[in-house]
Amino acid sequence: MSKPTIDDYLENGMYGQKQTKPDERRKFLGSLRERIVIALTQSQVREKGVYKEVQDSLKKHPEAKLLLNGNMSYTFLSKYIKLADTYHVSFSMVTNKDIETDIGLVLAYDHAIDQEEIYVQKKSEKAAEAKPKPKQKKSLFSSIKNKLF
């Protein structure tokens, strides 16, 4: 690598340090996709109660860091902050007023772990999958029709 020039120093001062995958970092609260253990959207963080998957991940990965979207209300984030304290996981509030992201919470390492699935399914979707669909009753006409034909 060549020595940094005066232009490089000026560029760093005006625009900040060069980053790899800046769009991905903005989306995932400053982290990269390959470092994430689990992620929740803002709507999931706003739901009542905490997700069991997040609680289990905090137990399994105490060395990871919990990143919380600082643009969200503290009332929604406080339950996850308490959970992080319970399992001795460090956390940080990430606030960037210029960037909009739908991510509300991320549990990530400072190195790549390449977890296949990082998103948690919403509670309402889980309930819909677990509940079997009721059988539809046949109308009188359809039962007569089936017997005749």
Read off the CATH number of the domain in which 63 is found.
3.30.1330.30
Please indicate, yes or no, if residue 71 is contained in any of the structural domains: yes
Residues 6+ apart with CB under 8 A from 105: 39, 40, 44, 45, 54, 66, 67, 68, 69, 77, 80
Query: In terms of pLDDT, which residue wins out, 35 or 127?
Result: 35
- pLDDT over threshold 60, residue 112: yes
Mean pLDDT of 18-31: 84
- pLDDT over threshold 60, residue 132: no
pLDDT value at residue 121: 87
* CA 5 to centroid of chain Cα atoms: 40
- pLDDT over threshold 80, residue 85: yes
Please indicate, yes or no, if residue 3 is contained in any of the structural domains: no
Please indicate, yes or no, if residue 5 is contained in any of the structural domains: no
Query: In terms of pLDDT, which residue wins out, 26 or 123?
Result: 26
pLDDT value at residue 20: 80
Q: What global pTM score does this model have?
A: 0.73
Residues 6+ apart with CB under 8 A from 54: 38, 40, 80, 83, 105, 107, 120
Nearest-angstrom CA–CA distance, 105 and 69: 6
- pLDDT over threshold 80, residue 110: yes
- pLDDT over threshold 70, residue 42: yes
Residue type, 44: Q
Structurally, the chain folds into a number of domains equal to 1
Please indicate, yes or no, if residue 16 is contained in any of the structural domains: no
Where residue 111 falls among pLDDT bands split at 50, 70, 90? very high
Greatest mean pLDDT among 3-17, 21-35, 69-83:
69-83
Residue with tokens 């109660």, as numbered in its chain: 49
Structural domain harbouring 102: 21-122
